[in-house]
């Protein structure tokens, strides 16, 4: 008995099945999940336990298989006139990400959720995908705890106010974005078509949020220790720089002003050059300048925080310049 459907894709990953189904449908190919093993184009007739099968109509099978083949398998050829489609980002194996962060998840679904932006979850008509905003909230708290713990251990003689200022620098959007870029987190993000089209994999706000969600996923899957290892390894240069340069959480704006005055230079000015993010979590980008020269640019969740970050980076640059032979 023929069903009129052919299996064109099999995967053990529910998330990968969602991505491929969305890809086929975006190209006008109707696609169904099939629980059993309908006659397929693969050389086997049964589905391993736990696999998801994606099937299309017989007439659409050739087009679907061409679409799912690696790009290098296709010879250059004329493209027929068709509705504009978005470029497809092939997600790397999550094992690559696990190797970079130094942790293998016991429940891979936690990692998948941490990488899923709400734009992707909202495109799932089944409502089965969970986005990472809840994990982002938890990750922010876990990150704050781990950074506070490290500051108390590494800089015990600083005041509470000094630790608070240095902590703000270490958990800023700029720092989180750098942490995400260090492990190529953007390559693994699950984005909706709109975010994919507008370069969401490179957006600092999305990368910073995903980094916080990843920290939460590490905490939920393995406890504080794997989260601690990831955070402290990523932030080790920042802690070392703070200790070596002697900033130790001081008022960076006042310190910069003092350094400039001693060298006979004019006072710095701070300008908000950009804002991003939703109203409840707006990110401010501030540039610090002396006369016509831009010294540094930094992000913060408040203008005051961004100004402090920019002043800290400017101080770091001045220290580096004076240290050169």
Q: From the candidates 18, 60, 140, 196, which is the catalytic residue? A: 140
Q: Which residues pair with residue 220 across a beta bridge?
A: none
For residues 307 and 170, what is the distance between their CA atoms, to the nearest angstrom?
A: 14
Are 165 and 252 a contacting pair, CB within 8 Å?
yes
What is the set of domains in the chain, with CATH numbers? Answer: 5-84 (3.30.70.1530), 95-245 (1.10.1520.10), 252-323 (3.30.160.20)
The pLDDT profile of the chain, 325 residues, written as one tens digit per residue, is 345 777 877 776 766 777 777 777 777 788 887 654 444 444 333 344 456 778 888 888 888 787 776 533 444 444 444 444 444 455 678 899 999 999 999 999 999 999 999 888 887 766 667 888 999 999 999 999 999 999 888 888 777 877 777 888 788 888 899 899 999 999 999 888 888 888 888 999 899 999 999 999 999 999 999 999 999 999 887 776 666 445 444 578 888 888 888 888 899 999 999 998 777 778 889 999 998 899 989 888 788 888 888 888 887 776 544 444 4
Q: From the candidates 195, 212, 221, 299, which is the catalytic residue? A: 212
pTM as predicted:
0.54
Judged by DSSP in three states, 42 sits in coil
Q: Is 160 a catalytic residue?
A: no
Judged by DSSP in three states, 104 sits in coil
- Estimate the share of the chain in helix, then strand, then coil, as percent rounded to the nearest 5: 55, 15, 30
For residues 230 and 100, what is the distance between their CA atoms, to the nearest angstrom?
A: 10
Helix (H) or strand (E) holding 8: strand 5-11
pLDDT of residue 71: 38
Are 4 and 41 a contacting pair, CB within 8 Å?
no
User: How many angstroms separate the Cα of 243 from the Cα of each of 32, 166, 175, 240, 298?
Assistant: 58, 11, 17, 5, 20
- The position carrying tokens 């989260």 is 227
Tell me the angle at which helices 160-170 and 303-323 cross, rounded to the nearest 10 degrees: 90
For residues 42 and 87, what is the distance between their CA atoms, to the nearest angstrom?
A: 27
For residues 230 and 218, what is the distance between their CA atoms, to the nearest angstrom?
A: 9
The DSSP code sequence of 206-254 is HHHHHHHHHHHHHHHHH-HHHHHHHHHHHHHHHHHHHHHHT-TT--HHH
pLDDT of residue 38: 43
Q: Is 16 a catalytic residue?
A: no
pLDDT of residue 69: 67
């Amino acid at each position: 008995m023929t069903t009129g459907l052919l299996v064109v894709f099999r995967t053990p990953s529910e998330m990968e099945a969602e991505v491929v189904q969305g890809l086929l449908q975006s190209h006008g190919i109707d696609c169904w999940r099939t629980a059993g093993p309908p006659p397929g184009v693969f050389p086997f007739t049964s589905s391993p336990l736990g696999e998801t099968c994606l099937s299309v109509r017989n007439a659409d099978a050739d087009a679907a298989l061409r679409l799912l083949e690696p790009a290098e398998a296709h010879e250059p050829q004329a493209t027929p006139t068709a509705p504009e489609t978005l470029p497809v980002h092939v997600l790397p194996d999550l094992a690559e990400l696990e190797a970079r962060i130094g942790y293998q998840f016991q429940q891979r679904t936690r990692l998948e959720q941490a990488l899923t932006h709400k734009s992707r979850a909202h495109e799932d008509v089944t409502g089965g995908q969970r986005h990472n905003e809840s994990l982002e909230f938890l990750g922010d708290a876990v990150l704050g705890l781990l950074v506070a713990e490290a500051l108390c251990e590494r800089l015990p003689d600083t005041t509470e106010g000094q630790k608070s200022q240095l902590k703000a620098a270490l958990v800023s959007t700029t720092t989180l974005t750098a942490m995400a870029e260090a492990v190529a987190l953007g390559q693994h993000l699950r984005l909706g078509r709109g975010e994919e089209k507008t370069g969401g994999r490179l957006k600092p706000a999305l990368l910073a949020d995903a980094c916080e969600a990843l920290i939460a996923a590490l905490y939920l899957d393995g406890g504080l220790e794997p989260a601690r290892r990831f955070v402290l390894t990523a932030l080790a240069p920042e802690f070392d720089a703070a200790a070596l340069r002697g900033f130790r959480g001081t008022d960076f704006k006042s310190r910069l002003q003092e350094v400039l005055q001693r060298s006979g230079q004019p006072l710095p000015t701070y300008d908000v050059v950009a804002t991003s993010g939703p109203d409840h979590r707006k990110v401010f980008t501030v540039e610090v300048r002396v006369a016509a020269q831009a010294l540094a640019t930094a992000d913060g969740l408040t203008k005051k925080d961004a100004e402090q970050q920019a002043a800290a980076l400017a101080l770091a640059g001045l220290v580096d310049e004076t240290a050169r032979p």
